[in-house]
């Protein structure tokens, strides 16, 4: 088996999503949900050398009342298959993961996909052990791009779990089966996700969190760089990654922050202004091209009236006609429900169909 460090083969890889390359460490971080590395391999065996960084469960819900250690999960796709050929947890004891094996040398297109969310779990690729060689990627027809900005719903929190009242378990979070990933694949779009469970659009007095989305969005991966104490932060190259659609599903956590604030009415009004300002920032960063969909659902609809007013006010002030509001379908009575009332993948499928239908009806 030959060892090939990542910096020696990086030009042969194709990435999707907001991946973070660190030249000095020789690592490519795939921290955001559904970040991907695609490779074209000819040979009999390919093993990825990965680095996992753990997080802790938000509640002391371990068997001894402790905060459980959380590790990232990833999966492998072969060719055009949409079903995983392998799915695995990466931790500090299992860093080498088999991506492909064949009794005889063959040529395969492989994709490594991170299934779990940023901040709770981190995953980096450092290189490969191989019997064979990496080939240049084949030419790819241009595809449209869609980005999803959101919270636990967009991450897929508990979308493969059932009925437990609390607790985040990475094995139950499958970003590949979220409404965003499903809709993007159905429409033939390349997707990226910027989402973290529990996050608010802006800092809320009634729900203090480490970050608000408007503090993260301009950067490639501020969470990872802050964890490492790196400065300056790497800004995301918006011009190099132009979007066709941007779907923002934020407000459910802000609603909890409003309800728990010392002055809920003042906080409600502050949210409306924060939302309008963030819309302007999204447009500034992404330019005039993408259609911005201000979505909400399938739970946490409490601030929908404020979102509607913020969208209308922004459009009136800016003249921006490529912004609209979408209420996603809620969890139905017979749908399975994940931990903390989060939607199961069954509901995500319904959300994906509704989103796809909506996007296809928008003006070009």
DSSP H helical ranges for the chain: 6-9, 152-155, 179-187, 213-216, 222-228, 252-259, 264-286, 304-318, 345-360
List the single range of 61-75, 79-93, 258-272, 297-311 with lowest mean pLDDT: 61-75
pLDDT of residue 167: 79
pLDDT of residue 142: 87
DSSP line for 168-209: --GGG--GGGSHHHHHHHHHT-EEEEEE-TT-BSS-BTTB--
Write down the mean pLDDT value for the chain. Answer: 96
Whether the per-residue pLDDT at 165 is higher than 70: the answer is no
Q: Quick one: 2-135 is in which CATH superfamily?
A: Galactose-binding domain-like (2.60.120.260)
CA distance 272 to 277: 9
Kindly state the tokens that stand for 259. 């309800």
CA distance 29 to 121: 11
pTM for this prediction: 0.96
pLDDT of residue 78: 97
Banded pLDDT at 60 (limits 50, 70, 90): confident
More confident residue, 54 or 325: 325
Residue whose tokens read 């997080």: 55
CA distance 8 to 24: 13
pLDDT of residue 57: 77
Second-level CATH architecture of 145-360: 3-Layer(aba) Sandwich (3.40)
Banded pLDDT at 143 (limits 50, 70, 90): very high
Whether the per-residue pLDDT at 66 is higher than 90: the answer is no
Whether the per-residue pLDDT at 164 is higher than 70: the answer is no
CA geometry: angle at 194 spanning 89 and 171, to 5°? 20
Domain positions in the chain: 2-135, 145-360
- How many CB atoms within 10 Å of residue 184? 28
Banded pLDDT at 49 (limits 50, 70, 90): very high
pLDDT in tens, 4-29: 999 999 999 999 999 999 999 999 99
Closest to 253 (Cα-Cα) out of 310, 194, 299: 299
Q: How far apart are the first and last CA of the chain?
A: 50
Q: Cβ distance 246 to 286 under 8 Å?
A: yes
* Surface-to-core class of residue 166, CB atoms within 10 Å of its CB (0-12 exposed, 13-18 middle, 19+ buried): exposed
Whether the per-residue pLDDT at 86 is higher than 70: the answer is yes
Whether the per-residue pLDDT at 132 is higher than 80: the answer is yes
Banded pLDDT at 62 (limits 50, 70, 90): low
pLDDT in tens, 252-268: 999 999 999 999 999 99
Banded pLDDT at 107 (limits 50, 70, 90): very high
pLDDT of residue 168: 87
Residue whose tokens read 């395969």: 108
- How many CB atoms within 10 Å of residue 311? 19
pLDDT of residue 162: 85
pLDDT in tens, 229-248: 999 999 999 999 999 999 99
CA distance 345 to 232: 38
CA distance 108 to 121: 28
3-state helix vs strand vs coil in the chain, percent to 5: 30, 30, 40
Percent of the chain scoring above 90 in pLDDT: 90
pLDDT of residue 334: 94
pLDDT in tens, 312-330: 999 999 999 999 999 999 9
Question: Directed axis angle between helix 345-360 and helix 179-187, to 10°?
Answer: 40
Q: Cβ distance 299 to 251 under 8 Å?
A: no
Q: Cβ distance 121 to 227 under 8 Å?
A: no
Whether the per-residue pLDDT at 198 is higher than 90: the answer is yes
CA distance 130 to 360: 43
pLDDT in tens, 34-47: 999 999 999 999 99
């Amino acid at each position: 088996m030959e060892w090939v460090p990542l910096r020696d083969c990086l030009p042969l890889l194709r990435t999707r999503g907001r991946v973070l390359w660190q030249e000095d460490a020789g690592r490519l971080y795939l921290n955001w949900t559904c970040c991907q590395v695609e490779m074209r391999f000819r040979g009999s065996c390919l093993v990825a050398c990965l680095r996992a960084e753990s997080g802790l469960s938000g509640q002391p819900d371990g068997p001894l009342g402790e905060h459980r250690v959380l590790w990232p999960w990833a999966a492998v796709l072969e060719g055009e298959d949409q079903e995983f050929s392998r799915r695995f947890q990466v931790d500090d004891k299992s860093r080498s993961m088999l991506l492909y094996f064949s009794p005889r040398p063959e040529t395969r297109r492989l994709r490594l996909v991170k299934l779990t969310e940023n901040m709770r779990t981190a995953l980096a690729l450092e290189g490969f052990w191989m019997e064979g060689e990496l080939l240049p990627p084949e030419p790819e027809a241009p595809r449209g791009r869609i980005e999803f900005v959101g919270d636990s719903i967009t991450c897929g929190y508990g979308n493969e779990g059932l009925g437990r009242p609390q607790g985040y378990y990475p094995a139950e979070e499958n970003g590949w089966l979220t409404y965003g990933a499903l809709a993007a694949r159905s429409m033939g779009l390349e997707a990226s996700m910027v989402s973290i469970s529990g996050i608010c659009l802006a800092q809320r007095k009634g729900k203090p969190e480490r970050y608000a989305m408007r503090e993260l969005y301009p950067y490639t991966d501020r969470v990872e760089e802050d964890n490492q104490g790196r400065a300056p932060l790497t800004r995301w190259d918006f011009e190099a990654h132009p979007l066709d659609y941007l779907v923002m599903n934020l407000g459910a956590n802000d609603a909890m922050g409003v309800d728990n604030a010392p002055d809920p009415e003042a906080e409600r009004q502050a949210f409306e202004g924060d939302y309008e300002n963030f819309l302007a920032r999204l447009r500034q960063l992404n330019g005039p091209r993408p259609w911005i969909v201000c979505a909400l659902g399938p739970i946490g609809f409490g601030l929908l009236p404020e979102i509607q007013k913020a969208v209308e006010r922004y459009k009136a002030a800016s003249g921006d006609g490529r912004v609209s509001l979408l209420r996603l379908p809620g969890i139905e009575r017979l749908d399975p429900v994940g931990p903390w009332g989060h939607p199961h993948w069954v509901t995500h499928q319904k959300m994906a169909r509704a989103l796809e239908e909506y996007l296809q009806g928008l003006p070009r």
